[in-house]
Amino acid sequence: MKTMIGRLLAMSALCAASHALAATQAATAQLHADQPGPTIPRYIYGQFSEHLGSGIYDGIWVGEKSSIPNVRGIRSDVVRALRELKVPLIRWPGGCFADDYNWRDGIGPRDKRPGRKNNWWTGKHESNQFGTHEFMDFAEQVGADAYIGVNLGSAPPRDMRDWMEYMTSDGDNALANERRRNGRDQPFKVPVVGIGNESWGCGGNMRPEYYADEYRRFQTFFHNNGQAAPAAIRVASGADREDYNWTDVVMKQAGAKLDALSLHYYTLPPADWKEGGKATRFSKEEWVAILAGALRIDDIIRRHAAIMDKYDPKKRVGLYVDEWGTWYRSDSGKFDWDLRQQNTLRDGVVAAAHFNIFHRHTDRVKQTSIAQTMNVLQAMILTDGPKMVLTPTYYAFKMYVPFQDATALPLDVSSPSYRLGATAIPSINASAAKGKDGKIYIGIANMNPDDNVQFSVNLGTLAATKVSGQVLTAQQMDQFNEFGKSPAVAAQPYRGATLANGALTLDLPAKSVVVVGLE
């Protein structure tokens, strides 16, 4: 008991000291609750799980005989945690892996499936124990829709046609009957299909003109197989970062035949990406560099969207940011292709900044998936044998759940900057929406690593009488959660809000994420 009280006293002394050191900046915003914008589709909060490192094996799949509690081979702890995030959609099986994948390897009795070499990811043994039925079972256990990436790079369109028919046909035909023999009577639901991945790189090193033709050929053999309306969304492989020419050419030559075009944007350190930035023990310069890098996605989306507007002024085609997130050096401290990295408070703040930016572009951005769900890059969850830890990114996702299918509301933010050397970022990045429960939500990232910010929001026509919320912060900017310990960075009840005279005032701790709901 004495030790506990001693620890609490030491902690409050530490808080008081850090509070005394921190200055307070002031930021303001105007909410326009009377000017509802587009819906924030729940697919904005999608996930991506690839056969890479321990993203699938150990992370999701442990097999039915494992001593780790599982349902039909799928980890129960992971499913339980992901259900809390209300994961709307999971993209699988890749990534680069998808364009080297033969779907037939992953169906039928598991003891008869061929082992293969995972060519993209370290040449590791791919047992194919986790295939179509196991992925669909995982998605169904989590409560998510399936986003299947089909092979355009190394397979003919017939493979895609057959896989789609196997999964989705309810007719009396050889492929649907094979699925039934493999244990699934009813067709699987496949609402989203990616046709090729990074076709400018690992998906075939194609020029956009060539890809556009290939896409046109593939989609000719793409059949919906009587899936209940709406028809599956066909996603064409889109640009890397600022390759605006790719978007232009694919939209011009194939835009009428696709439903969505992807975009990949990773937040990388400014130096050579293979050198990698540090996931932990980074300096304040590295904090700012990563946040500045994350914010660039705002302008990049705007520019790709402007090109799409030229060919699709009615915004029929969605922009799918189906890979995003931080990419650092691996756990080992070196670059390695298992791409497992630690996840700190900084990653939670990066995630919140992305959400706020996506919310502002939902007239065009209809889906995103963070890379990746388990043990790879900016993960929600890290596992080590039977142990599991929820990352700060996980908590950011959880805090933003009320934004799924909410109605975006304009929020004009005026923020002071945080400057370090040649790099400046706004301290505050925020967005607002009206949730399906009728409450108004405001999500904020205070990206200033040093200072608290007093954020005053003029609520305009909104007469709110009650406010509550959650905060994600920590003493150290590189704080992370460790196996077997109670989490050092987790969402906590937020008590820094006051409502008076039509204004909301939020006392935002330095380096934090806050989400408040107003009634």
Q: Where on the chain is the footprint of ligand AHR (CB under 6 A)? A: 50, 94-96, 197-198, 323, 371-372, 377
DSSP-assigned states of every residue in 137-195: HHHHHHT-EEEEEE--SSS-HHHHHHHHHHHH--SSSHHHHHHHHTT--SPPP--EEEE
Q: Between helices 157-168 and 208-220, what is the axis angle to 10°?
A: 40
Q: Which is nearer to ligand AHR, 165 or 323 (CB)?
A: 323
Residues 365 and 358: beta-carbon distance below 8 Å = yes
Q: What are phi and psi of 20, to 5 degrees?
A: -65, -35
Sign of the CA dihedral with 174 first, then 178, 184, and 189 last: negative
Nearer to ligand AHR, 297 or 377 (CB): 377
Q: Is 286 a catalytic residue?
A: no
- Listed residue (275, 390, 384) closest to 343, CA to CA: 390
The closest alpha carbon to 325, from 46, 514, 72, 31, belongs to 46
> Can you read off the two tokens belonging to residue 256?
């009428």
Phi, psi of 285, deg, nearest 5 = -60, -40
**Rounded least distance, CB 95 to ligand AHR, Å:** 3
Type of residue found at 305 = A
Q: How far is the CB of 241 from ligand AHR (least distance, A)?
A: 11
Cβ neighbour number for residue 429 with a 10 Å cutoff: 25
Cα 428 to the chain's mean position, in Å?
A: 21
Handedness of CA 414, 419, 423, 427 (dihedral sign): negative
Question: Considering the complex, what minimum distance in angstroms separates the CB of residue 345 from ligand AHR?
Answer: 22
165 part of the active site: no
Nearer to ligand AHR, 118 or 132 (CB): 118
Strand partners for 92 = 148
Please, is 200 exposed, middle or buried when counting C-beta atoms within 10 Å of its C-beta (0-12, 13-18, 19+)? buried
Residue pair 48/91 in contact (Cβ under 8 Å)? The answer is yes
Query: What is the SS3 assignment for 246?
Result: helix
Tokens of 264: 């990949």
The residue whose Cβ lies closest to ligand AHR is: 95
**Shortest CA distance to 85 belongs to which of 39, 55, 46, 51?**
46
Alpha-carbon distance of 302 to 263, in angstroms, equals 12
- In this complex, which beta carbon is closest to ligand AHR, that of residue 33 or of residue 381? 381
Q: Which CB sits closer to ligand AHR, 27 or 90?
A: 90
Out of 50, 134, 165, 198, the active site residue is 198
Instruction: Report the DSSP beta bridge partners of residue 264.
Output: 240, 323
DSSP-derived pairing of the beta strands 452-458 and 503-508? antiparallel
User: 50 or 145, CB closer to ligand AHR?
Assistant: 50
Cα dihedral across residues 280, 284, 289, 293: positive or negative:
positive
> Residue 31: beta bridge partners?
411
In the bound state with ligand AHR, the residue whose beta carbon lies nearer, of 95 and 469, is 95
34 class by beta-carbon count within 10 Å (0-12 exposed, 13-18 middle, 19+ buried): exposed
Asked if 515 and 400 count as a contact pair (C-beta separation under 8 A), the reply is yes
Catalytic positions, please?
Answer: 198, 323
